[in-house]
Structures are given as C-alpha cells and as structure tokens.
Amino acid sequence: MIRRFTVLLPSLLFGISCIDPLSYEIPLAGSYPIVIAGQITDQPGPYEVILTRSFDTKSNVVLKQSVKAQEVVISDNMGEKETLQEVAPGVYRTQTTGIRGQVGRVYQLEVTTLDGKHYLSAPDTLFAGSTVDSLYYNFNIELDAEGVQQAGFDIFFNATNHAELKGGSLWKFKGTFKSTATPENADITRSGCHPIGAKCNFVPVCSGLVNIATPAWPPMYERQGPCTCCDCWFPLHTNTPLISDEEFLREGRFVQIKASRIPLTSWVFQHKVYIQMEAHTLSRQAFRFWKAIRDQKIDVNNLFQPISGRIPTAFTQTMGTPDPVQGIFYAS
C-alpha cells in the first residue's frame, strides 16, 4: 500500500516564493500494536479496561479495532484480585461491589488474549494527597484565528499537591450543558417516514406528536404524549491532558491553571452549564505517560515541533508470539 505525505518546501527567488510537493512511499506496517487502557481509583467502581488495536488513520485498509480477551484481571499486592467481565466489544468491567482501590496498595493488570498472548502492566502504587481547592471563571472577549471577536468564559482552578505525592496530578475537567430540542420542527422533506403502524408520522415519534391525517399527507399532528427527546445533554471536555507542571507551582500550590474555555453561545447557555474538576494522583511512571501525551498534543501544530519521543508503555508481554503493545494501567 502507498501512503503519501506532503512536505512543503519554501523557495525564495527574486522575491517570489513557490511551494513544491514532495511525495514518497511508506510501506504498511506489518503489525499494529495492541492498546490497553485502564485505571483503578479509591472511588467506588466499576472500573473499565479497554482493549483495542491501533491503526493507520490514513490507510484504506479497514482494521478491526476492538480486541477480545480470554481473561482480564486486576490484582493488588495484598492478594485481592478480580476477573473483569466483557460488557461490549473490547470493553471489560469490574463489578460495582468488586475490587476497589486503596491508598498505599500496588496494582497490576493482566491481559490474556484468545491467541495466548499475555500482557502484564508495571506495578502502580495508589497515592493520596491531591486536591482541587477552588474553581472559578473569567468572562472575556478574544479574537479567534480569523480575527472575529468571540465571547466566552475561561475556567480556572487552584490545586494542591501534598508533599507525600511522589509523581504528580492529572486534573480532569468535566462539563455538561442542557439544550432543548424541537423535533416537531424537523424538515419533513428530509426526516423520513417515522412510521406508526402503516402510516408515516414524518416527525420523530419521541416528539409526542402523532399524525392523525388520513391520508397521511399533508400531516396533521395531535399531541398524544410528552416529548421524550427534547431535553438533550451534551458533554464538554478538554483536548489536552491537564497535568501538574512545576512552572505553575507557587509555594506548594498550583495557582490559576486554565482548565478550559466555554464559548458564550445560545446553544451552550440555553439553560445552565455544570462544571466539575477531579484531581487524580499519579505515580512517576503514570505522570511520564500523560506528560508525553500532553507534549505531543501541544506541539502537533508547531512548525518547529520538538522531538517529544515515543509514548512510553506500561506493559510487557510475558507469553506468546511477540506483538507490540502500548497503553497504561494506573492507580489514582
């Protein structure tokens, strides 16, 4: 298979610049790594472990992404363990009343695939002592990339990493907003039939409106129930991991860290916006993993992108035909 990359080569001659494409072939990789992602915390479960197969986003070859396992087990250094159950393709989950992370214990994940390959995560200690002290916002107007003024709310927080924390913190921003939809106003020429028995309803049945016209066209609606799809909830999230960097540290505290920006639009602020910040403690190895992810995402659009290296993996293969593995299982 041929993958084509374009490299822009600027050339200056008598004040005139031109751009020439440079294309070259890169062979298709023989084996894409299995990717294992999971976490255990001191909060009640269930916890999930996700098994996938990485793939080439530019490839025309369709690859099955989920990976089925023979066994997925979480264990600690005190002898407690639990075998996870598959709840969806490639998704394995603990019981709600099953294993729960405890501060000071060391956790590992074992994955055995159907073809007998066995993967073991590096031991990870669950540390205590990370807090979010305050969460606040600042309203302002900024110029976007096209020079247009955009109003919005910058979300900031202050946090503390206590002395006993050996690695760092991963802060998770979770936002949710509610919007009211009007499915009864759907374009009936595009929305389709939405049959009720042998008759077309033309608007979604969840609207609570039923077409009582005979024949069905033109429709005449009568409300026969409440709308069950009018209140919609949408998530807000950050695209880059928020991790504790020493540059933000002031006398033992992390001050005025920007978590996200929420644009002021009628869609997002039709009702209210709910925001939550979580502080997850990290061991040194987990911190290195998330820092590598963060650095690559920040630098991806930088013309002078520094070499950030490979994303470290927390897994080793102990049985089976050698196969590359990526991912992390960590306690926080």
**Is the per-residue pLDDT at 294 higher than 90?**
no
CA dist 41 → 38, 237, 280 (Å): 10, 20, 8
What pLDDT sits at residue 6? 32
Contacts of 210 (CB under 8 A, 6+ apart): 196, 201, 221, 222, 223, 224
pLDDT band at 15, cuts 50/70/90? very low
**Please, is 157 exposed, middle or buried when counting C-beta atoms within 10 Å of its C-beta (0-12, 13-18, 19+)?**
buried
Running DSSP on this structure, what letter comes out for residue 251?
Answer: T
> Does the predicted model carry a pTM greater than 0.85?
no
Per-residue pLDDT of 222-269, as tens digits, reads 999 999 989 999 999 888 889 887 656 666 688 889 999 999 999 899
Residue 107 near residue 123, CB atoms below 8 Å: yes
Tell me what the mean pLDDT of segment 94-104 comes to. Answer: 95
**Is the per-residue pLDDT at 185 higher than 60?**
yes
What pLDDT sits at residue 60? 64
Tell me what the mean pLDDT of segment 271-295 comes to. Answer: 90
Tell me what the mean pLDDT of segment 292-301 comes to. Answer: 78
